[in-house]
Chain A
């Protein structure tokens, strides 16, 4: 078991972090806003943690104090929230594909900024970020509760007034507006909630990856997070979480399969070299068989009925 956690501690934590990021994309989507800005806030949160922890290193050669990590997460969340409100108010006047484009532009602006600023270390980025845990699996103590809390939060959100307003906006903005739901207010709220979560995850990831640079949270990342949500299912919060967990684990599962003893060499070779091909094919097959995503509200309610 110990060796399992040594090998897959990093993967387990990345899965949990990916699930949290998928949730951060799901939150604006709850209000019908296709925003790809999450990676931008993720990058921002990471830079905040990276700069703070490397500029003011902890005294002595000990582990980075946990309270400082929590403080960085809080600060990253706050900064992302403020920026989200500033960006969100004008950007959310756009709808559908135009909003998606604007958020892609936002991510790109942040990336170019981080390449040019001195404090972010340009393309080399920031390295030697201190570690609050002695093992990679240790991060699960932070990432796990964060995911559970965000899931609980989203679960409740789907069932209270604000969440209902989000869903009303998603289903029909005009109708919702005519019923007295302020579209701007709720859209910005949904956008900001997602941004805060992404910023907090970024702060953890910077420590977790040891290094932070402008290659984190780019447009490519937006697309993979979107895939988490779409494959997992975009109508209930369980979908993005499952999507994030499964899609992050899949390439590594395929890697592990190549090590299974007794495989004929050609199959091992194919599994290793073609693992990304298989990954892509599985996503395509998943999209064909489950157009609504793996987890749909329909499915969840059926499962609930099966319980005695």
Chain B
């Protein structure tokens, strides 16, 4: 027994040391909300008088904040996307609170990390729904996570806006599930069209996709369909890889042997970046079209100068010339010191949709008078019935909750000569 005690005591001492750090401040009364949100957001209790330009001229929001849940992957290998979404949502929180919030009441973005798996997503959703008492949730990052966690939110009657779930069948999970990410069928064909405009002589096309990624798997079907049926090109081969792969010699050699005029890649950022790098290293010089997984600046450090020229269809362009997008772009650049990407813009848009729906709802009936369940139900109705002018353009929802988006873009990666920096240049 003695050895057990001797071993346990130091362990608990260590633990209590950790815990005691919080103790002194626990006694002091605070007026701040219990759950800590991101430190960068203006404190709702005491909004700082900032000098930032106030687009709509409304006063900064004050009062009891309305909690909005953000459940995306802040850890795991999906975090490359999740972190961009967090950045977008935080910019949205600061921006809309600066512009009067929900009829004067601020919003509060509550982050819960889903990790990269299904169980973590369900835990994050449960925490947001029951502990943080959010009015709605923006998330999760992956479609597979959405299939696991969305039914739980639907059953609890909490509106969900998927910021990046593009698989078939997401809005159909339930009445409370909507998304602002256009399905692949709408976005992907634009990139192939753009490639044909750059090089009208394209005949032979090779398709590669990450076999273990749900998104890439459904996207490649759309690409293959576009190649063979829409543009009547010659699909000379389909190669598969895994998102965890780092060596693509086999695939690259096969591509070079087949000598295609166009290569289409559906994968995630890290693996696709390496694939592009190895393709170029081995001497492929033709055009490369990338899927949505390549639609992130996180790709640039992977393939550096060899990223140059990758064509990616976009649901969002930071160059879009609308007031809301200019505001978003400026706010994002001020905070992150780079141009916003599609994932950030979609997260911003999801928060915007919620803020505008809450504002519209508040005008008919005061939000403070409704209990949480009624508020969530009414909010869901309001979300689906509204139209929104967002950085993604003018959007609305179909009755099941899918997005109606008018405009899509195509961008081409432009890298600096040494490969240290790059950007998506919009070609249409």
Interface string of A1-45 (1 = CB under 8 A from B): 001001111110010000000000000000000000000000000
Q: Which residues of B contact A278 (CB under 8 A)?
A: 18
- Contact at A267–B22, with CB atoms within 8 Å? yes
B151 engages A269 (CB within 8 Å): no
> With a CB–CB cut-off of 8 A, which chain B residues contact A131?
151
Indicate whether A302 sits within 8 Å of B26 (C-beta atoms), given known contacts A7-B126, A10-B126, A210-B151: no
CB-defined contacts of A128 to chain B, threshold 8 Å: 147, 151, 169, 173
For residue B320, CB closer than 8 A to chain A, the reply is no
Q: Which of B1, B21, B111 makes the CB contact (< 8 A) with A302?
A: B1
Residue total for A at the interface (Cβ-Cβ under 8 A) = 55
Q: Is the CB of B167 closer than 8 A to any CB of chain A?
A: yes
Chain A min CB distance to B265 (Å): 15
Known: A211-B144, A267-B22. A124 touches B127 (CB 8 A): no
What is the minimal beta-carbon distance from A2 to any residue of chain B, in angstroms? 10
On whether the beta carbons of B25 and A127 are closer than 8 Å, the reply is no
A195 to chain B, nearest CB (A): 22
Nearest 6 pairs between A and B by C-beta?
A268-B36, A127-B147, A211-B147, A262-B26, A7-B130, A261-B34
* Residue ID in chain A nearest B24 by CB atoms: A264
Q: What sequence of 0s and 1s flags, for each residue 62-98 of chain B, a beta carbon within 8 Å of any chain A beta carbon?
A: 0000000000001100000000000000000000000
Per DSSP, chain A at the interface is helix
A115 to B244, CA, bound (A): 14
Cβ-defined contact, A127 with B169, below 8 A:
yes
A276 at the interface (CB under 8 A from B): yes
Q: Tell whether, in the assembled complex, residue B144 and residue A125 are in contact, meaning their CB atoms are under 8 Å apart.
A: yes
Give the contacts of A199-225 with B (CB-CB under 8 A).
209-211, 213-216
Asked if B187 is at the interface (CB within 8 A of a chain A CB), the reply is no
Is there a chain A Cβ closer than 8 Å to B122's Cβ? yes
Q: Which residues of B contact A210 (CB under 8 A)?
A: 147-149, 151-152
Q: Any chain A CB within 8 A of the CB of B16?
A: no
Which of B188-196, B213-221, B293-301, B393-401 binds A? Answer: B213-221
Residues B111-145 near A (CB distance < 8 A)? 111-113, 117-120, 122-124, 126-127, 129-132, 143-144
In the complex formed, the residue of A with least CB distance to B217 is A123
A-B pair count, CB < 8 Å, reads: 140
Q: How large is the interface on B (under 10, 10 to 19, 20 to 34, 35 or more residues)?
A: 35 or more
A209 and B148 contact, CB distance less than 8 A: yes
Query: Nearest Cβ in chain A — how far from B256, in angstroms?
Result: 25
B127, A267: Cβ atoms closer than 8 Å:
no
Interface presence of A80 (CB below 8 A): no
Give the complex CA separation of A210 and B36 in angstroms. 31
Q: State the CA gap A134–B21 with chains docked (Å).
A: 41
Closest to B128 in A: A7
13 additional A-B pairs beyond A10-B122, A259-B35, beta carbons within 8 Å, are A6-B156, A7-B127, A14-B123, A115-B211, A124-B218, A128-B173, A210-B151, A255-B123, A259-B34, A261-B34, A262-B22, A262-B27, A269-B36
18 intermolecular pairs with C-beta atoms under 8 Å apart: A6-B130, A8-B126, A14-B119, A116-B211, A123-B211, A123-B213, A124-B167, A125-B147, A128-B147, A131-B151, A211-B144, A214-B212, A258-B36, A262-B26, A262-B30, A266-B39, A272-B111, A302-B1
